[in-house]
Copies of this chain bind each other. A is one copy, B any other.
Amino acid sequence: MRATLIYGAGDVRVEDVPDPVLRTPSDAVVRVLRSCVCGSDLWPYASREATEQGQRIGHEFLGVVEDAGREVRTVKAGDLVVAPFVYSDNTCEFCREGLHTSCRNGGNWGVHDVDGGQGEAVRVPQADGTLVKLPVSGNDTALLPSLLTLSDVFSTGHHAAVTAGVSERTTVTVIGDGAVGLCAVLAARRLGAERIILMGRHQARTDLGREFGATDVVAERGEEGIAKVRELTGGSGTHAVLECVGTKPAFEMGIGVVRPGGRISRVGVPQYSEGLIGRYVFGNNITITGGVAPARHYIEQLLPDVLDGRVEPGKVFDVTMSLEQVPQAYQAMADRTALKVLVA
Protein backbone atom coordinates (compact mmCIF):
# COMPACT_ATOMS: atom_id res chain seq x y z
CA MET A 1 0.00 0.00 0.00
CA ARG A 2 0.93 3.68 -0.07
CA ALA A 3 1.76 5.57 3.12
CA THR A 4 3.49 8.71 4.29
CA LEU A 5 6.97 8.80 5.78
CA ILE A 6 8.98 11.67 7.15
CA TYR A 7 12.73 11.65 6.46
CA GLY A 8 13.62 14.95 8.05
CA ALA A 9 12.69 18.60 8.15
CA GLY A 10 10.81 19.52 4.99
CA ASP A 11 11.13 15.98 3.65
CA VAL A 12 7.85 14.06 3.64
CA ARG A 13 7.31 11.30 1.05
CA VAL A 14 4.51 8.97 0.06
CA GLU A 15 5.94 5.52 -0.66
CA ASP A 16 5.10 1.85 -1.07
CA VAL A 17 5.06 0.04 2.26
CA PRO A 18 3.92 -3.47 3.24
CA ASP A 19 0.20 -3.99 3.54
CA PRO A 20 -0.88 -4.18 7.18
CA VAL A 21 -1.93 -7.57 8.50
CA LEU A 22 -3.21 -8.73 11.88
CA ARG A 23 -0.32 -9.58 14.18
CA THR A 24 -2.11 -10.28 17.43
CA PRO A 25 -5.69 -11.41 18.14
CA SER A 26 -6.52 -7.93 19.49
CA ASP A 27 -5.49 -6.11 16.28
CA ALA A 28 -7.75 -4.81 13.56
CA VAL A 29 -6.89 -3.50 10.11
CA VAL A 30 -8.67 -0.34 9.05
CA ARG A 31 -8.88 0.92 5.46
CA VAL A 32 -8.49 4.71 5.78
CA LEU A 33 -11.25 6.86 4.31
CA ARG A 34 -10.12 10.21 5.72
CA SER A 35 -6.96 11.36 7.41
CA CYS A 36 -5.28 14.72 7.83
CA VAL A 37 -2.17 16.65 8.77
CA CYS A 38 -1.86 17.96 12.32
CA GLY A 39 -0.28 21.15 13.60
CA SER A 40 1.90 18.90 15.75
CA ASP A 41 3.18 17.16 12.59
CA LEU A 42 4.64 20.52 11.64
CA TRP A 43 7.12 20.43 14.54
CA PRO A 44 9.14 17.51 13.06
CA TYR A 45 8.49 18.93 9.59
CA ALA A 46 10.24 22.10 10.80
CA SER A 47 13.13 20.61 12.70
CA ARG A 48 13.55 16.86 12.45
CA GLU A 49 17.09 15.71 11.73
CA ALA A 50 17.54 14.12 8.29
CA THR A 51 17.60 10.31 8.39
CA GLU A 52 18.25 7.55 5.82
CA GLN A 53 15.30 5.64 7.13
CA GLY A 54 11.94 7.34 6.99
CA GLN A 55 9.41 7.15 9.80
CA ARG A 56 5.70 6.61 9.32
CA ILE A 57 3.61 9.60 10.29
CA GLY A 58 -0.01 10.68 10.82
CA HIS A 59 -2.19 10.07 13.86
CA GLU A 60 -5.71 11.08 12.84
CA PHE A 61 -7.81 8.73 10.75
CA LEU A 62 -11.25 7.38 10.14
CA GLY A 63 -12.07 4.38 8.01
CA VAL A 64 -13.67 1.00 7.55
CA VAL A 65 -12.63 -2.11 9.44
CA GLU A 66 -11.25 -4.60 6.96
CA ASP A 67 -10.22 -7.37 9.29
CA ALA A 68 -10.38 -7.94 13.01
CA GLY A 69 -8.51 -10.40 15.25
CA ARG A 70 -10.39 -13.16 17.04
CA GLU A 71 -10.35 -11.32 20.39
CA VAL A 72 -11.87 -8.14 18.97
CA ARG A 73 -15.45 -7.75 20.21
CA THR A 74 -16.57 -4.17 19.65
CA VAL A 75 -15.93 -3.69 15.94
CA LYS A 76 -16.13 -5.96 12.91
CA ALA A 77 -15.33 -5.91 9.21
CA GLY A 78 -17.39 -3.25 7.45
CA ASP A 79 -17.81 -0.94 10.47
CA LEU A 80 -16.98 2.73 10.05
CA VAL A 81 -14.65 3.69 12.89
CA VAL A 82 -12.62 6.62 14.13
CA ALA A 83 -9.31 6.25 15.95
CA PRO A 84 -8.01 8.63 18.61
CA PHE A 85 -4.51 9.95 18.18
CA VAL A 86 -3.01 7.34 20.47
CA TYR A 87 -4.09 3.72 20.84
CA SER A 88 -5.08 2.36 24.24
CA ASP A 89 -6.65 -0.69 25.86
CA ASN A 90 -9.54 1.23 27.48
CA THR A 91 -9.38 -1.12 30.48
CA CYS A 92 -6.27 -0.27 32.54
CA GLU A 93 -6.42 1.93 35.64
CA PHE A 94 -5.55 5.08 33.69
CA CYS A 95 -8.06 4.42 30.90
CA ARG A 96 -10.76 3.77 33.51
CA GLU A 97 -10.00 7.23 34.88
CA GLY A 98 -10.30 8.73 31.41
CA LEU A 99 -6.56 9.19 30.92
CA HIS A 100 -6.13 6.99 27.86
CA THR A 101 -2.96 8.85 26.90
CA SER A 102 -1.27 7.21 29.91
CA CYS A 103 -2.62 3.73 29.07
CA ARG A 104 -0.38 0.95 30.36
CA ASN A 105 -0.70 -0.85 27.02
CA GLY A 106 -1.08 2.10 24.71
CA GLY A 107 1.22 3.91 22.36
CA ASN A 108 1.70 6.22 19.44
CA TRP A 109 0.95 5.75 15.77
CA GLY A 110 3.90 5.62 13.40
CA VAL A 111 6.50 4.22 15.78
CA HIS A 112 7.61 0.77 16.96
CA ASP A 113 6.26 -0.98 13.88
CA VAL A 114 2.83 0.59 14.22
CA ASP A 115 1.44 2.23 11.09
CA GLY A 116 0.91 5.96 10.77
CA GLY A 117 -2.48 7.40 9.96
CA GLN A 118 -1.47 9.10 6.70
CA GLY A 119 -1.68 5.97 4.56
CA GLU A 120 -4.12 3.70 2.79
CA ALA A 121 -4.60 1.39 5.76
CA VAL A 122 -3.54 0.98 9.39
CA ARG A 123 -3.01 -1.99 11.65
CA VAL A 124 -4.68 -0.92 14.89
CA PRO A 125 -3.31 -2.44 18.11
CA GLN A 126 -5.77 -2.79 21.00
CA ALA A 127 -8.61 -2.45 18.50
CA ASP A 128 -11.37 -2.89 21.10
CA GLY A 129 -9.92 -0.20 23.30
CA THR A 130 -8.92 2.15 20.52
CA LEU A 131 -11.58 2.25 17.84
CA VAL A 132 -14.97 3.86 18.22
CA LYS A 133 -17.68 2.63 15.90
CA LEU A 134 -19.54 5.41 14.13
CA PRO A 135 -23.28 4.93 13.54
CA VAL A 136 -23.11 6.29 10.00
CA SER A 137 -21.87 5.05 6.67
CA GLY A 138 -18.70 6.02 4.89
CA ASN A 139 -20.98 7.49 2.24
CA ASP A 140 -22.12 10.25 4.61
CA THR A 141 -19.30 12.32 3.21
CA ALA A 142 -20.54 15.64 4.60
CA LEU A 143 -20.17 14.34 8.16
CA LEU A 144 -16.76 12.73 7.77
CA PRO A 145 -14.63 15.86 8.30
CA SER A 146 -16.30 16.67 11.63
CA LEU A 147 -16.15 13.03 12.70
CA LEU A 148 -12.44 12.98 11.88
CA THR A 149 -11.80 15.92 14.24
CA LEU A 150 -12.83 13.65 17.13
CA SER A 151 -9.56 11.87 16.50
CA ASP A 152 -7.58 14.85 17.71
CA VAL A 153 -8.33 18.53 17.23
CA PHE A 154 -11.89 18.75 18.52
CA SER A 155 -11.16 16.35 21.39
CA THR A 156 -8.02 18.33 22.17
CA GLY A 157 -9.86 21.65 22.18
CA HIS A 158 -12.48 20.07 24.41
CA HIS A 159 -9.76 18.77 26.76
CA ALA A 160 -8.41 22.29 27.07
CA ALA A 161 -11.84 23.62 27.95
CA VAL A 162 -12.68 20.80 30.38
CA THR A 163 -9.39 20.92 32.27
CA ALA A 164 -9.57 24.71 32.47
CA GLY A 165 -12.99 24.36 34.09
CA VAL A 166 -14.92 26.20 31.37
CA SER A 167 -18.62 26.61 32.09
CA GLU A 168 -21.34 29.21 31.69
CA ARG A 169 -19.78 31.06 34.63
CA THR A 170 -16.26 31.41 33.21
CA THR A 171 -14.71 33.91 30.86
CA VAL A 172 -12.25 32.35 28.44
CA THR A 173 -9.17 33.34 26.45
CA VAL A 174 -8.08 31.02 23.66
CA ILE A 175 -4.49 31.50 22.54
CA GLY A 176 -3.88 30.41 18.96
CA ASP A 177 -6.02 30.41 15.84
CA GLY A 178 -4.87 27.05 14.50
CA ALA A 179 -7.26 24.13 14.20
CA VAL A 180 -6.94 23.25 17.89
CA GLY A 181 -7.46 26.85 19.00
CA LEU A 182 -10.58 27.16 16.86
CA CYS A 183 -11.87 23.83 18.18
CA ALA A 184 -11.16 25.10 21.71
CA VAL A 185 -13.39 28.08 20.98
CA LEU A 186 -16.11 25.73 19.76
CA ALA A 187 -15.68 23.51 22.81
CA ALA A 188 -15.78 26.45 25.22
CA ARG A 189 -18.96 27.73 23.59
CA ARG A 190 -20.47 24.26 23.72
CA LEU A 191 -19.75 24.15 27.47
CA GLY A 192 -21.63 27.39 27.92
CA ALA A 193 -18.97 30.11 28.00
CA GLU A 194 -20.45 33.41 26.92
CA ARG A 195 -17.29 35.49 26.74
CA ILE A 196 -14.56 33.95 24.60
CA ILE A 197 -11.57 36.04 23.56
CA LEU A 198 -9.60 34.53 20.70
CA MET A 199 -5.98 35.63 20.34
CA GLY A 200 -4.93 35.21 16.72
CA ARG A 201 -3.88 37.27 13.78
CA HIS A 202 -5.02 35.39 10.65
CA GLN A 203 -8.31 36.88 9.72
CA ALA A 204 -9.73 33.93 7.79
CA ARG A 205 -9.09 31.85 10.88
CA THR A 206 -10.36 34.31 13.44
CA ASP A 207 -13.48 34.75 11.30
CA LEU A 208 -14.10 31.02 11.68
CA GLY A 209 -13.35 31.51 15.37
CA ARG A 210 -16.15 34.07 15.55
CA GLU A 211 -18.45 31.63 13.78
CA PHE A 212 -17.47 29.01 16.40
CA GLY A 213 -18.33 31.36 19.26
CA ALA A 214 -15.51 33.84 19.88
CA THR A 215 -16.95 37.14 21.09
CA ASP A 216 -13.70 39.11 20.79
CA VAL A 217 -10.57 38.77 18.69
CA VAL A 218 -7.21 40.12 19.83
CA ALA A 219 -4.59 40.22 17.10
CA GLU A 220 -1.87 41.73 19.27
CA ARG A 221 0.74 39.52 20.91
CA GLY A 222 3.02 39.70 23.94
CA GLU A 223 2.64 42.65 26.28
CA GLU A 224 0.33 44.41 23.84
CA GLY A 225 -1.89 41.37 23.60
CA ILE A 226 -1.95 41.01 27.39
CA ALA A 227 -2.90 44.67 27.79
CA LYS A 228 -5.72 44.25 25.27
CA VAL A 229 -7.22 41.23 27.01
CA ARG A 230 -6.94 42.94 30.38
CA GLU A 231 -8.66 45.99 28.94
CA LEU A 232 -11.48 43.76 27.67
CA THR A 233 -11.91 42.16 31.09
CA GLY A 234 -11.90 45.12 33.43
CA GLY A 235 -8.25 44.58 34.23
CA SER A 236 -8.59 41.09 35.68
CA GLY A 237 -8.02 38.69 32.79
CA THR A 238 -10.18 35.62 32.18
CA HIS A 239 -10.93 32.67 34.45
CA ALA A 240 -9.81 30.17 31.85
CA VAL A 241 -6.97 30.37 29.36
CA LEU A 242 -6.70 27.69 26.69
CA GLU A 243 -3.14 27.71 25.39
CA CYS A 244 -3.27 26.03 21.98
CA VAL A 245 0.14 26.89 20.55
CA GLY A 246 2.90 25.30 22.61
CA THR A 247 5.58 27.98 22.50
CA LYS A 248 7.03 29.68 25.55
CA PRO A 249 5.81 33.15 24.49
CA ALA A 250 2.28 31.72 24.15
CA PHE A 251 2.48 30.25 27.64
CA GLU A 252 3.78 33.51 29.06
CA MET A 253 1.00 35.40 27.34
CA GLY A 254 -1.36 32.94 29.01
CA ILE A 255 0.08 33.77 32.42
CA GLY A 256 -0.40 37.43 31.55
CA VAL A 257 -4.10 37.15 30.76
CA VAL A 258 -5.28 34.71 33.42
CA ARG A 259 -7.38 36.01 36.26
CA PRO A 260 -6.24 35.45 39.87
CA GLY A 261 -7.50 32.03 40.88
CA GLY A 262 -7.81 31.07 37.22
CA ARG A 263 -6.60 28.14 35.18
CA ILE A 264 -4.32 27.90 32.17
CA SER A 265 -4.78 24.71 30.25
CA ARG A 266 -2.04 23.83 27.81
CA VAL A 267 -2.83 21.60 24.87
CA GLY A 268 -0.19 22.85 22.45
CA VAL A 269 2.76 20.46 22.77
CA PRO A 270 5.29 22.55 24.75
CA GLN A 271 8.40 23.42 22.77
CA TYR A 272 10.09 24.47 26.01
CA SER A 273 11.18 22.68 29.15
CA GLU A 274 10.96 25.38 31.81
CA GLY A 275 8.36 28.07 32.31
CA LEU A 276 7.52 30.94 34.65
CA ILE A 277 5.83 29.39 37.64
CA GLY A 278 7.32 31.52 40.36
CA ARG A 279 5.84 34.10 42.66
CA TYR A 280 3.35 35.57 40.21
CA VAL A 281 1.68 32.24 39.51
CA PHE A 282 1.91 31.28 43.18
CA GLY A 283 0.73 34.61 44.55
CA ASN A 284 -2.32 34.57 42.31
CA ASN A 285 -3.22 30.92 42.83
CA ILE A 286 -3.03 30.19 39.13
CA THR A 287 -3.44 26.57 38.12
CA ILE A 288 -1.47 25.17 35.20
CA THR A 289 -3.23 22.17 33.77
CA GLY A 290 -4.09 20.35 30.56
CA GLY A 291 -1.72 18.16 28.63
CA VAL A 292 -1.95 15.62 25.88
CA ALA A 293 -5.68 15.05 25.34
CA PRO A 294 -7.20 11.64 26.08
CA ALA A 295 -9.27 11.84 22.90
CA ARG A 296 -10.57 8.29 23.33
CA HIS A 297 -12.23 9.39 26.56
CA TYR A 298 -14.10 12.19 24.82
CA ILE A 299 -15.15 10.69 21.48
CA GLU A 300 -18.37 9.13 22.72
CA GLN A 301 -19.27 12.30 24.68
CA LEU A 302 -18.80 14.58 21.70
CA LEU A 303 -20.18 12.27 19.04
CA PRO A 304 -23.91 13.05 19.43
CA ASP A 305 -23.40 16.78 18.90
CA VAL A 306 -21.31 16.10 15.81
CA LEU A 307 -23.83 13.62 14.41
CA ASP A 308 -26.76 15.97 14.73
CA GLY A 309 -24.82 18.95 13.42
CA ARG A 310 -24.99 21.03 16.62
CA VAL A 311 -21.27 21.53 16.18
CA GLU A 312 -19.29 21.42 12.95
CA PRO A 313 -15.63 21.23 13.90
CA GLY A 314 -14.90 19.84 10.42
CA LYS A 315 -14.99 23.43 9.18
CA VAL A 316 -11.35 23.68 10.23
CA PHE A 317 -10.51 21.74 7.06
CA ASP A 318 -10.12 24.36 4.39
CA VAL A 319 -8.24 22.30 1.82
CA THR A 320 -8.66 18.69 0.65
CA MET A 321 -5.84 16.75 -0.99
CA SER A 322 -5.18 13.17 -2.02
CA LEU A 323 -2.78 10.85 -0.21
CA GLU A 324 -0.23 11.37 -2.98
CA GLN A 325 -0.39 15.11 -2.31
CA VAL A 326 0.44 14.82 1.40
CA PRO A 327 3.92 16.38 0.92
CA GLN A 328 2.20 19.46 -0.54
CA ALA A 329 -0.27 19.39 2.37
CA TYR A 330 2.59 19.70 4.83
CA GLN A 331 4.09 22.55 2.88
CA ALA A 332 0.76 24.37 2.60
CA MET A 333 0.20 24.13 6.33
CA ALA A 334 3.78 25.16 7.09
CA ASP A 335 3.32 28.15 4.76
CA ARG A 336 -0.05 28.86 6.43
CA THR A 337 -1.80 28.84 3.07
CA ALA A 338 -3.90 26.01 4.49
CA LEU A 339 -5.39 25.93 7.99
CA LYS A 340 -5.76 22.15 8.05
CA VAL A 341 -5.62 19.74 5.13
CA LEU A 342 -8.07 16.87 4.86
CA VAL A 343 -6.64 13.84 3.09
CA ALA A 344 -9.34 12.03 1.14
With the chains together, A290 CA to B261 CA distance in Å? 9
With the chains together, A239 CA to B67 CA distance in Å? 39
With the chains together, A292 CA to B282 CA distance in Å? 6
Q: Is A273 an interface residue (CB 8 A)?
A: yes
Q: Is A289 an interface residue (CB 8 A)?
A: yes
Q: Is A52 an interface residue (CB 8 A)?
A: no
Within 8 A of B (CB), among A272-299: 272-279, 281-292, 294
Within 8 A of B (CB), among A71-116: 94, 97, 99, 101-102
List 4 extra interface pairs beyond A94-B260, A287-B289, CB under 8 A.
A102-B284, A270-B278, A274-B277, A282-B292
Within 8 A of B (CB), among A15-74: none
Q: Is the CB of B260 within 8 A of A270?
A: no
Q: Is A163 an interface residue (CB 8 A)?
A: yes
With the chains together, A294 CA to B260 CA distance in Å? 12
A243 CB to nearest B CB, Å:
10
A244 CB to nearest B CB, Å:
13
Copies of this chain: 2
Write out the residue numbers on chain B whose beta carbons fall within 8 Å of the beta carbon of A287.
163, 287-289
Size bracket, chain A contacts: 20 to 34
Write out the residue numbers on chain B whose beta carbons fall within 8 Å of the beta carbon of A97.
261
Q: Interface of A with B (CB < 8 Å)?
A: 94, 97, 99, 101-102, 163, 260-261, 266, 269-270, 272-279, 281-292, 294
Q: Is the CB of A274 within 8 A of B282?
A: no
Write out the residue numbers on chain B whose beta carbons fall within 8 Å of the beta carbon of A284.
102, 291
Q: Is the CB of A289 within 8 A of B291?
A: no
Write out the residue numbers on chain B whose beta carbons fall within 8 Å of the beta carbon of A282.
266, 269-270, 290-292
28 contacts between A and B (CB under 8 A): A94-B260, A94-B261, A97-B261, A99-B285, A101-B283, A102-B260, A102-B284, A163-B285, A163-B287, A266-B282, A269-B279, A270-B278, A270-B279, A270-B282, A272-B278, A273-B277, A274-B274, A274-B275, A274-B277, A275-B275, A275-B277, A275-B278, A281-B291, A282-B290, A282-B292, A285-B291, A287-B289, A288-B289
Interface centre among A260, A269, A290 (most CB of B within 10 A): A260
With the chains together, A282 CA to B290 CA distance in Å? 7
Residue of B nearest to A159 (CB): B285
Judged by DSSP, the binding face of A is mixed
Residue of B nearest to A279 (CB): B270
A318 CB to nearest B CB, Å:
28
With the chains together, A270 CA to B101 CA distance in Å? 30
With the chains together, A286 CA to B275 CA distance in Å? 14
With the chains together, A286 CA to B269 CA distance in Å? 14
If A269-B282, A282-B291, A292-B282 touch, whether A99 touches B275 (CB-CB below 8 Å) is: no
Write out the residue numbers on chain B whose beta carbons fall within 8 Å of the beta carbon of A290.
282, 285
